[in-house]
Structure 1
Amino acid sequence: MAVKLTSLRDMPDDEVDEIRAILTKYHISYYETPAGNWGISAPTIWLHENDDLDIAKKRLEDYQQERGERMHTEYEALREQGKQLTFIDQIREHPLRVIALLAFAIAVAYFSVVPFIEIGHVER
């Protein structure tokens, strides 16, 4: 019977490709379910055999540990070179986007709070 290995939701494509490569390298039979046309379904990697679950989880755990260390090293290298974008850098690159998002957030907050404030000002 099929058993779920991992969800692929919000996982970068390069990570999914590396997981596929690991499963193929160790001859672990698997299949994927897609997110569907509207992205509502859960994209997942399933194993055909329950017996492969322990091995696959161990391989996946080792891979995730190695990937985490690799991503951290890359981040630190970019930060030291001054190439890692900060929040301020992103604001400088896209000022109109930031202004539009702030205006939208303020509008949502305003329209969410005003009805409650007006309830207190109802004349009796």
Structure 2
Amino acid sequence: MPHHLMNLRHVPDDEADEIRALFEEHEVRYYETPPSRWGISMGGFWVHDDDEAERARQLLQHYQQQRLESQRRSFEERQVRGESVSVVAMLRKHPVRTLAALLAIVVIAGFSLLPFVRIG
């Protein structure tokens, strides 16, 4: 029976490439299904064998812990350098686009809450 190891929806290309290289390096017999463009199927990495699935899950767990630590370090370094993305930073860099997005959020929230405001 196939074992689903990891969902590929919203996984960056560099992470998926690193996982493929990890599986190749450790000779994990896996296969991959791509996620659909419309978000209907999630895609992922799969294996058939129970033992292979356990070994692959351990490799993935170790890899994901390392990736978490490296991404966290990278984020903290960007914050120290002042390169982190925030609403204020986006407002400075792209004022019209940011204000338009904020206005759209307020309008959508207003329309969503309008029926509840009318009830009271």
Which bin holds the TM-score, normalised by the shorter protein?
0.7 to 0.9
Change (3 A) 1:6 1:118: closer
Q: Secondary structure at the match of 1:28?
A: coil
Q: Distance in 2 between matches of 1:102 and 1:111?
A: 14
Q: How many residues align?
A: 120
Task: Show structure 1 runs of 5+ residues with no match.
Answer: none
Q: Distance in 2 between matches of 1:2 and 1:111?
A: 45
CA pair 106-61 structure 1, distance change in 2 beyond 3 A: same
Q: Which has the larger radius of gyration?
A: 1
2:77, 2:33 → 1: CA distance? 36
Residue 65 of structure 1, CA deviation? 1.0
Query: % of aligned pairs identical?
Result: 39
Match for residue 94 of structure 2?
94
For 1:33, the equivalent position in structure 2 comes to 33
Question: Could you state the TM-score of these two structures normalised by the residue count of structure 1?
Answer: 0.82
SS at match of 2:97: helix
The match for 1:104 is: 104
Q: Secondary structure at the match of 2:40?
A: coil
Larger deviation, residues 46-55 vs 74-83:
74-83
Report the equivalent of 1:70.
70
Question: When the two structures are superposed, what TM-score results if normalisation uses the length of structure 2?
Answer: 0.85
RMSD of the TM alignment (CA)? 1.9
Alpha carbons of 1:97 and 1:4: their partners in 2 closer, same or farther (altered >3 Å)? same
